[in-house]
Amino acid sequence: MIFDRNEKKEVIALLGAGSMGTAIVRRIAAGRKILLGDISEKSLEKVSHDFKYSGYDVETMIVNALDKSSVEAFAQKAASLGDVKYFIDTAGASPNQAKPEHILALDMVGTGYAVDAFGKVMAKGGAGLIVASQTGYMYPIPYETELEILNTPTEKLMDLPFIRETAMQRSGIAYMIAKRVNQLQAQKAAATTWKARRARINTISPGVIVTPLAYDEFAAAGEGYQKMVDASAAERCGTSDEIAEAGAFLLGEHAGFITGTDLLIDGGVIASIRTGVYKLH
């Protein structure tokens, strides 16, 4: 049976087939073409099956987000399917899953590769969304250092003294810095490469969101996360569906004047830290 006879569909590309990314895609995918990219063939099979049996038009591609050529091939594949209207990047590793080098290579450099690659293929009026983290607000980076990061090509980021000497200290610090860099990467792209394509790009910074990936963090540092949640204004964890609502807004037409910015979605965790209600250790 042919479910959709429409041709020349707008394309949605998702890098990282996790629960937050797929929840965002579901909000905007009706009548559009979905391209899923992930390093795990098993994850791609499961997610694409769920999309197909929900009536969506989906293709998959194995992508190594650490490899520049692999990410560029993913962007070219998306462009071959039609006008790339939306790009969402959720690929990354959490502090208790990897060493600092891997976190920085994937969450920082890998994200930069994706922002750069899709900055060459986005359709006019398109929009991108990078999933960063509330932790991007937890480790202040000196202004001069942020300017240096903004003016450094993606493939040179690991060579910066700040990255080598500070970010490499611990996985937690590497993650915080990588997520702040994600916010800076979106700012830079919004003003340069993505602007040239007449496309927008933003980041969202989720707080403690319950996902399968998050359970690894809860198992390793559950007590700390519990205290953080208890000190927040919401006094609960968030859900992927709540992230999807915000993501769909930033990608949609009602956010047409929003680009190069970050939306913090953390239930008030950062507010509690900045006011001293909760203290990081």
Q: Check residue 76 and give its pLDDT.
A: 98
Between CA 68 and CA 34 the distance in angstroms is 21
- Give dist(CA 184, CA 122) in Å, integer: 19
Residues of the chain with pLDDT under 50: none
Return the active site residues.
175, 179
**pLDDT for the residue numbered 248:** 98
- In order of their start, the domains of the chain are 11-209+239-266 (3.40.50.720)
How many whole angstroms separate alpha carbon 261 and alpha carbon 187?
6
Task: Tell me what pLDDT residue 96 has.
Answer: 80
pLDDT tens digit string along 68-104? 999 999 999 999 999 999 999 999 988 888 999 999 9
Q: How far apart are CA 281 and CA 221, in angstroms?
A: 12
Closest CA to 20 of 92, 75, 72, 81: 92
Measuring CA to CA, how many Å separate 152 from each of 5, 160, 185? 45, 8, 10
pTM for this entry: 0.95
